Structure 1
Amino acid sequence: MDAEFIEFERANANRGNCLLRGLERLKFYFMWNMKEVIWKNLDPKYVFPRLQVLEFYDCPKLKSISWVVNLPCIQKLSVHGSKVMKQLLCINELESSGIIVSPQSFPFLKKLILMDLFELEIISDPIITFPVLEVLEVLCCDKLKKLPFKSSKPPKKLESIHGSIEWWNNVEMEDGSSKSSLQPFFKKY
């Protein structure tokens, strides 16, 4: 299967009968033409209420995965190999598709891995939070200059930020503050 998009639609179905409700791991591999996942009259949290691990590998046309924000149990999110993605998570996209962003976005996300996202400039809008993020890995995302949190308020459980020294030297803080308080977390690849 190599479609331009994957569509989930609620067509007069009882959302409690969804066959994917017990799914804990989902991987999209080698989806060369997939540009997006479309949600019609359905919130992703009702389809994947137990999803813990979500991985996208070699989906070069993938533009955004904003829909993952409200997945209630997501613990690990990996995105590798998009040649067009500029922003990982965008509130405007969610609102235009009718998805309401929870004020407690990503309550369980511990690991965020971003690799080979050559056009990525922004991880998320400031309203999106990563309260329990432990590990952030960034490799070959040279246009990404900002972290998804302030240096004065890193996630409480942050253990490490992995990346190249060149990338780390170019990181700027969203609030204009110094990233020196985050230096102990940085680990070079």
Structure 2
Amino acid sequence: MKKIKVMLVEDDPRWQRDIVDDLEKESDLEVVRVVSSKEEALETAKDIEMDVILMDINLTENNLDGIEATLEIFSLGKEIKIIMLTALGDRDTIVKAIEYGAVNYVNKSSFLDILECIREAYRNEVSLHPDATGAILREIRLKSLTPMEKNIYTLKEEGYTRPQMAQYFHTTLDTIGTHMKNISRKLKRRK
């Protein structure tokens, strides 16, 4: 049986040890390299044959350099599947990681699921982990908003009240209310 070759990109020694220990218990997985920086990840992806990369998002401070590494590795044109493995769960980070080429996004607290995510990625099965699906669905639904609805949604996210929005857009509270109802309907459909 051919083993799935996995590289771990993680800067925390404790996480490195724990993840590698778990991966090495699996007979169908082989850890081919463990690296801790964006630069090492890029060089290794160029030089070593691998199937899947588990990529931490923050390799240095809070720079999201794991996402940058994902884009650069994806741009190599190799068939390497990249799974983001992180403690971050904010919507913008998840969406950016997927846009930059990651095939999945799993929070470190859901690590027990990572084994199946690796196998699915290797088999080219598109299956987003529940840690990512809500953010992706919401992003898709945001695309259905009109420009005015997007502006109102953004102001709402920033904490503006309806009267403040009405004043901002030089319109009535009823108009803002209508837009808010449309936004709510569009974002909640097909859950």
TM-score, normalised with respect to structure 1: 0.32
Bigger Rg over Cα = 2
Identify the structure with the greater strand proportion: 1
